[in-house]
Amino acid sequence: MAEVSVENSIEPGRKGNAVSRFVWTYVFATDHKVIGLQFLFSSLIWFFVGGFLALAVRWQLAWPWSDMPIFGHMLFAESGGQMSPGFYNMLFTMHATIMIFFVIIPILAGAFGNYLIPLMVGAEDMAFPRLNMMSYWFMWPAFGCIILSFFMPEYGASAGWTSYPPLSVFQGDAQSLWLLAMVFVGISSMMGSINYLTTIIQMRAPGMTMFRLPMTVWGMFITAIMQAFALPVLTAALLMQLSDRMLMTGFFLPENIAVNNGVATSGGGQVLLWQHLFWFYSHPAVYIMILPAMGMVSDIISCFSRKPLFGYRPMVYSITSIAGLGFIVWGHHMFISGMNHTLAMSFMVSTMLIALPSGIKVFNWIGTLWGGKLQLTTPMLFCVGFVSMFVIGGLSGIVMSAPPVDIVIHDTYYIVAHLHYVLFASSVLGVLGAIYFWFPKMFGRMMNEKLGKIHFLLTFIFLNGTFFPMHFLSRMPRRVADPYIYEGLKDLLPLNQFMTICAIGMGLTQLIFVANFFGSMFFGPKAGRNPWNANTLEWTTVSPPPHGNFDVQPIVRRGPYEYSHPETERDFFPQTESS
Amino acid sequence: MNRFWSVLFLLVPILGIASVLMAMYGVTPLESAWLPKSLSQAGDTIDQLFNGIHLLAAFILAGTVFTIGWALWRFGDRGNSNEKARYVTHNTKLEITWTVIPALILVFLAFFQMKSWAENKMDRPTVTVDGVSTFKAPMVMVKAKRFGWEFYYAGDDGIVETQDDIFVENLLVLPAGEEIVLQLESRDVIHSFYVPELRLKQDIVPGMTQFVWFNAREEKEIEIMCTELCGWGHYMMKADLNFVSRAQFDAWIEEQKAAYSPEFKNVVEPSASLGELKKLHSPQLSKVSKSLLEINN
Ligand code: HEM
Ligand SMILES: [Cu+2]
Ligand SMILES: [Cu+2]
């Protein structure tokens, strides 16, 4: 790799006036860091859209059919501001869709994967910079489809993020837009994952062996493999559903199905086939939504414990086995679906097994903390929060993986509790921690610690207030606009109101983060190259790194976790430093 | 300040476990938060598993998150001292221990609950007639539809889906203290038959026939919920389920028979194939697609 000087930070060969330079640098960027930031900003914007939808869902559950503030009167003037039940279905469908496909996956793989992989392996960019640019721009047709779907008569897809046929096949046009959007997201992820795999395999700096890679890169690597194997199945299933809707094929429709007294189909298809195909992708996808976060959390915890990551190799092996097992557990979403009941037993055993590597990771994080010289900075607090919340999510996972118990809790609020503990309380806390940690590298300035800690404290309290009580609602079905129609659920109203109030608090708390983020971007104290005294390669270059990343070719001499090595004076030992 | 964070994390298992125990043992204000009282033997077994696995989970939660809080307490203050962190990269013995013990627990759990699953979902009740054992016939055929429940009682011949079936909508009356088999089918999309008190849930898939069975020990009025999203009216897809004594049940069935003339019709059973659908006149086709749209809102 040739030496790259800072002047080259504008793409080589791009001349012309300021506007065209801006467009080529920031819009049609091929620099992995700019693409990473593009993913970061679009995901954060969608995060707020998804959050609003969630608050509307909570509003309905706490004060059913009452006037929805602000939006109610805009959308439902004729009914005096109260939402319709169909609108409620749209809300939770679009909430989940946006949070999963537009926020967590793109922010983990797209933003942090793009930003960190080349820096951490010591490469000047991704293996295929143009493919990388395409992978971002393929998100936009998806954004467009989803935005358009909000203007359809039914205000958006409303068959749930799982989109089970036959219901989804008989939805309005918003469902077709939803399917198209998912196809585009899939293409984008696919291009990203091929790029990540190639970069990690081919472009590591001299001396960077696979077992000297930081856990972040390992997390991204395994995630990319899972995406590459699982996405084709999802894409096929989405196109099949689309053709069921548009071409009347009937892949997922049985004979003689009657909807609204008179619609019939050619039939001959299998309703459960969709569920198998969907979960064959979507179970791996739930790990796609957490393995990169686990990687980043491992790096951050080790750095702020000033201590090597406990059991680095077992950590690598456990994420590898999570990836492997992740492909044979999809049936745990289908225990009650009518799938062969004997088959449920084998899915139960594999699901129990997948809890094991997850547990090992938790023990290793605790092992890292133990005996450390802990620095409880904001990113560290978020990461410790991640670990303790992941314990809760993993444990409720074990509870549900027992099929007899799942008879009761399947499709109830218990599931909602589980998935928010793993996705919000774990993945999102991990992402926030990672933003606080790498912000200095991305923007060259430090974020405000005090605001960060307040942000953590309030988020942590409110998220538990919102999601923990959901564990007690295993008799309240999810996706129900008005649970109080059931006599047996009427007494749950106060609990639901409590959760909604906490959710609103949690939403407001995020404004502190927004203020901190933009405030620090312009007014934060300047960060040097290595404000946290960390070991990995990205901290050896300037902040923010120039196009081409490193001023000298990094030569890697050791693993990423040599903190407090007894033979060094300082308590860190960068990967490139000669001993 | 570090102590503050340590206390915050220590509060997680304390409050979490306390509230789970309160719910489990019915302590105010969470006395009604856990599941309603079980109505069947099979439900009791599920409850034991449910509570047992939760207690195990609470134990693990306490162990791990307490350790986190404690680590923060003990090692959080060393930030400013000159002391260095311990340089430990791994500990094979410890790691083998914390792999093998959870593995054993999980394998035990896996095998331990198989029996309950079989009881609920696999061992369909049988009857022995003349030394030949056959599946017990369903007493009621349940047809789920957007957004309600149709119940077809077997009638005098004891077989569902015959001319003498007795049709009741959104109300299921059954005798308590008897083993009852229901046959579940759907008219349109996927629905799910959930009765929390019986710890019973089964998705009803169009194109498939499902069976569920239970034995309620008490006379009680409860509800059937739909737990699979089936469209805009999903939230109101409920039916009443009344368990009554055998005598009351017989009297009730007689009443229904009298009220309901035996002209059992297959309410709507259109079966146009794709070809037939194409043969439809175009105005009709557009009506069809309109009705497709209506489903949404
Ligand atoms: C210890 C590991 C885990 C186990 C044993 C486990 C087990 C399960 C089971 C059995 C279900 C299905 C419950 C049902 O629908 O009846 C489920 C649902 C779910 N899990 Fe996990 N899980 C684990 C970890 C995770 C992680 C790490 C994530 C994501 C980061 C995750 C995300 C989800 C989601 C999103 C659902 C709900 C999907 C839906 O129906 O909408 N789980 N989990
Ligand atoms: Cu899963
Ligand atoms: Cu329903």
For chain A, list the domains and their CATH numbers. 32-540 (1.20.210.10)
Read off the tokens for A568.
């060094």
pLDDT at A181: 95
Read off the tokens for A255.
């004979």
Tell the residue nearest (CA) to atom 21 of ligand 1: A397
Q: Residue B282's pLDDT band (boundaries 50, 70, 90)?
A: very low
**Residue B209 lies inside a defined structural domain of this protein:** yes
pLDDT at B273: 37
Q: Residue B248's pLDDT band (boundaries 50, 70, 90)?
A: very high
pLDDT at A84: 85
**Residue B127 lies inside a defined structural domain of this protein:** no
Instruction: For residues B16 and B72, state if they share a domain.
Output: yes
With a 6 Å cutoff on the Cβ, whether A288 touches ligand 1 is no
Give, as residue ranges, everything with CB less than 5 Å from ion ligand 3.
Answer: B 191, 226, 230, 234, 237
pLDDT digits (tens, 9 = 90+) for B162-217: 888 889 999 999 999 999 999 999 988 999 999 999 999 999 999 899 999 999 99
* Whole-Å CA distances, A534 to A113, A447, A573, B127: 19, 17, 8, 71
Instruction: For residues B101 and B34, state if they share a domain.
Output: yes
Instruction: For residues B216 and B276, state if they share a domain.
Output: no
Instruction: For residues B254 and B187, state if they share a domain.
Output: yes
**Residue B124 lies inside a defined structural domain of this protein:** no
With an 8 Å Cβ cutoff, is A348 touching chain B? yes
With a 6 Å cutoff on the Cβ, whether A271 touches ligand 1 is no
pLDDT at A166: 87
With an 8 Å Cβ cutoff, is A262 touching chain B? yes
Q: Could A356 and B102 be called an inter-chain contact, meaning their C-beta atoms sit closer than 8 Å? A: yes
Instruction: For residues B110 and B224, state if they share a domain.
Output: no
A540 alpha carbon to ligand 2 midpoint, in Å? 39
3-state secondary structure A208-223: CCHHHCCHHHHHHHHH
Q: Residue B281's pLDDT band (boundaries 50, 70, 90)?
A: very low
Q: Residue B3's pLDDT band (boundaries 50, 70, 90)?
A: confident
Residue whose C-alpha is closest to residue B237's, from A365, A479, A116: A479
Q: Could B87 and A307 be called an inter-chain contact, meaning their C-beta atoms sit closer than 8 Å? A: yes
Q: Could A167 and B229 be called an inter-chain contact, meaning their C-beta atoms sit closer than 8 Å? A: yes
pLDDT at A155: 87
Instruction: For residues B140 and B240, state if they share a domain.
Output: yes
**Residue B158 lies inside a defined structural domain of this protein:** yes
Of A267, A371, A479, nearest to B88 by CB-CB distance is: A371
Instruction: For residues B243 and B187, state if they share a domain.
Output: yes
The pTM score is 0.91
pLDDT at A29: 83
pLDDT at B161: 85
Separation between Cα atoms, residue B154 and residue B142, nearest integer Å: 11
Instruction: For residues B61 and B159, state if they share a domain.
Output: no
Separation between Cα atoms, residue A397 and residue A308, nearest integer Å: 29
**Residue B128 lies inside a defined structural domain of this protein:** no
Q: Which residues of A touch B239 (CB under 8 A)?
A: none
Q: Of how many residues is chain B composed?
A: 297
Angle of the A215-246 helix axis to the A271-288 helix axis, nearest 10: 160
Instruction: For residues B45 and B65, state if they share a domain.
Output: yes
| Stretch (H or E) spanning A445 | none
With an 8 Å Cβ cutoff, is A78 touching chain B? no
pLDDT at A79: 65
**Residue B235 lies inside a defined structural domain of this protein:** yes
Which residues between 292 and 321 in chain A have a beta carbon less than 8 angstroms from any beta carbon of chain B? 305-314
Instruction: For residues B95 and B172, state if they share a domain.
Output: no
Residues of chain A with pLDDT under 50: 1-13, 260-262
Chain B: residue whose CA lies nearest to A496: B33
Q: Could A311 and B231 be called an inter-chain contact, meaning their C-beta atoms sit closer than 8 Å? A: no
Ranges A300-309, B22-31, B285-294, most confident: A300-309
Q: Which residues of A touch B15 (CB under 8 A)?
A: 464
Q: Could A172 and B292 be called an inter-chain contact, meaning their C-beta atoms sit closer than 8 Å? A: yes
With an 8 Å Cβ cutoff, is A458 touching chain B? no
**Residue range B78-103: average pLDDT?**
80
Amino acid at A377: T
Chain B: residue whose CA lies nearest to A84: B297
Query: Strands B220-226, B180-186: parallel, antiparallel or unpaired by DSSP?
Result: unpaired
Q: Which residues of B touch A372 (CB under 8 A)?
A: 71, 75, 85-86
Q: Which residues of A touch B200 (CB under 8 A)?
A: 407
Instruction: For residues B245 and B268, state if they share a domain.
Output: no
Tell how far CA B93 is from the center of its chain.
42
**Residue range B28-46: average pLDDT?**
86
Residue whose C-alpha is closest to residue A106's, from A66, A56, A146, A143: A143
> Of the given ranges (A307-321, A348-362, B8-22, B87-101), which has the lowest mean pLDDT?
B87-101
DSSP string, A214-259: -HHHHHHHHHHHHHHHHHHHHHHHHHHHHHHHHS---TT--TT--B
Separation between Cα atoms, residue B95 and residue A501, nearest integer Å: 42
Domain that holds residue B281: 261-285+292-297
**Residue B221 lies inside a defined structural domain of this protein:** yes
For the CA of B186, the nearest ligand: 3
pLDDT digits (tens, 9 = 90+) for B112-148: 989 999 999 999 999 988 888 889 999 999 999 988 9
Average of per-residue pLDDT values in chain B: 83
Contact B119, A405 (CB under 8 A): no
Q: Which residues of A touch B242 (CB under 8 A)?
A: none
Instruction: Check which CATH number belongs to the domain holding B188 and give it.
Output: 2.60.40.420
**Residue B239 lies inside a defined structural domain of this protein:** yes
| Stretch (H or E) spanning A181 | helix A173-202
Considering its fold, how many domains does chain B have in total? 3
CA distance A174 to chain B (A): 10
Instruction: For residues B30 and B113, state if they share a domain.
Output: yes
A63 alpha carbon to ligand 1 midpoint, in Å? 29
CA distance A546 to chain B (A): 33
